[in-house]
Structure 1
Amino acid sequence: MASSAFNIRRLVMDVDKAVRGPSVIEIAAAIQTCRGVEACNITVSEIDLETVGTDVAIEGQNLDYDEIVRAIESSGAVVHSLDQVIAGDRLILLGPRVR
């Protein structure tokens, strides 16, 4: 994905790691090495016998999705899904969808 063509400002991903795998601090440190990253929030969302599921939100300027995925994977975790992308000159925050 060539993300340099537009300004990605926020990414939200579902990231899984092994229970005995990298700590959330190690994953955050890997993400912080990527260009444009200004802030990273990692929240544990579920734990089972072997896997820890986390919600990862990253904000910054001109974020490079591919670089961030490589950093997460090099730490020992895996991106399960990309759940939100905000791009442009400013952030647009939406509330939960009601049906």
Structure 2
Amino acid sequence: MNLRRILLDVDKGLNRPTLTELAGSIEDVPGVDAVKITVTEMDMETMGTSITVEGININYNYLIKVIEDMGCAIHSIDEVITGKHIVK
């Protein structure tokens, strides 16, 4: 399966990892060409984020492992695009 885009609802600690640390780790996943992290909500200890990852043949299992190894919790997969091109 050629995973081209995935949108994840992810919670992370308020201070660690930083958004740039998280984005950098995701960017290193095989197949990833671009990462967009949007803060969706904040409370005293956690930050809710929406993470969009685009590329060609993104290694899904490794992507999830990297995010979880950074101490983040994946709540849901909100969008998946596979195939030869990205559907607009």
Task: Place the TM-score, normalised by the shorter chain, in its bin.
Answer: over 0.9
| 1:80 and 2:75 correspond | yes
| 1:22 and 2:17 correspond | yes
Corresponding residue number in structure 2 for 1:35: 30
Identity %: 41
Long gaps (5+) in structure 2: none
- The higher radius of gyration belongs to 1
Long gaps (5+) in structure 1: 1-5, 94-99
Kindly report the root-mean-square deviation, in angstroms, between the aligned alpha carbons of the 2 structures.
0.9
Pick aligned residue for 2:57 from 62, 71, 74 = 62
SS in 1 for 2:66: helix
| 1:11 and 2:6 correspond | yes
Residue 29 of structure 2 aligns with an amino acid whose one-letter code is: C
TM-score calculated relative to the size of structure 2? 0.94
Q: Which runs of 4+ in 1 moved over 4 A?
A: none
